[in-house]
Amino acid sequence: MSFLESSFKYITDSKNIKLIVIVAILSCVGSYFAIDELIIKEKVSRIEELNKDKNHLASQLKDIQNRLEKQIDSEDSRLEKNVANVKALYNEVITDLNRKNNQLMQERDTLISQLAQNAHTTQLEINKRNNENILALRQTLNSVEKNIHTLYLTHSRLSSEYGYSQKECEKRGSDFYGNICEQSSKYKAELDSLGEQIKSQEQRRKFIQEEILSIQRGAIN
């Protein structure tokens, strides 16, 4: 009998079947537990690796957060410093501008006061000069009016003499009384000259009167 035949006979024997089944079940259960234990070990190892990765990432995240917070604090500090510098510069500029503005206002007030004083002094000088000019013009006007009056008197006298001599010349003729006619001609020439002088003096009087009025109007304005 061969080995296979003897083995088959052993297995098919009813007494041995139960034992074989039990052994097979125990073998399967043992194999199952062995496989589960291996799988569990692998999962535990994987979990540990994941935990390590998680912890590493958490540590990196914390470092990044710390660096960001430090950077933000540094930026805030830098910005606050820049803002403080700008504000200080602004205050300095405003203070300087206010100082210069006050100085200019004081200078303006001083100039206004000086201008007012100068204007008052100038006006006094102008009034004094105007009064002096008016006085001189009135004196000249009086002299011109006297000249006009004298010229009119002379003109009136010569006019009478000219009228008389002219009548005598016409009455008696120029041959026998030639000197009377010549005298009449001289009177006529003198009267014409006096008329021109009177006209000139009257124009001068009018000019002086207008000058006086112009000065008086300027003083009022």
| Residue 33 pLDDT exceeds 70 | no
Helix (H) or strand (E) holding 210: helix 178-220
> Which pLDDT score is estimated for 14?
47
- When pLDDT is averaged across residues 46-51 and rounded to a whole number, the result is 72
Q: Ranked by mean pLDDT, which of 27-41, 47-61, 62-76, 109-123 comes out on top? A: 109-123
Q: What is the pLDDT of residues 116-125, one digit of tens each?
A: 888 888 888 8
| Residue 139 pLDDT exceeds 90 | yes
Half-sphere exposure of 65 (CA within 13 A, CB side): 6
Q: What is the pLDDT of residues 171-196, one digit of tens each?
A: 776 555 458 888 888 999 999 999 99
Percent of the chain with pLDDT over 70: 76
- When pLDDT is averaged across residues 68-79 and rounded to a whole number, the result is 74
Residue 138 pLDDT grade (very low, low, confident, very high; cuts 50, 70, 90): very high
> Which pLDDT score is estimated for 81?
82
- When pLDDT is averaged across residues 86-103 and rounded to a whole number, the result is 89
Mean pLDDT of the chain: 80
The residue among 162, 150, 221 whose CA lies nearest residue 190 is 162
> Which pLDDT score is estimated for 22?
57
HEC profile of 126-180:
HHHHHHHHHHHHHHHHHHHHHHHHHHHHHHHHHHHHHHHHHHHHHHHCCCCCHHH
Who has greater pLDDT, 157 or 43? 157
Who has greater pLDDT, 131 or 24? 131
Q: What is the pLDDT of residues 146-173, one digit of tens each?
A: 999 999 999 999 999 999 888 888 877 6
Contacts by residues 194-197 (CB-CB < 8 Å, ≥ 24 positions apart) = 194/151, 194/154, 194/155, 194/158, 195/155, 197/151
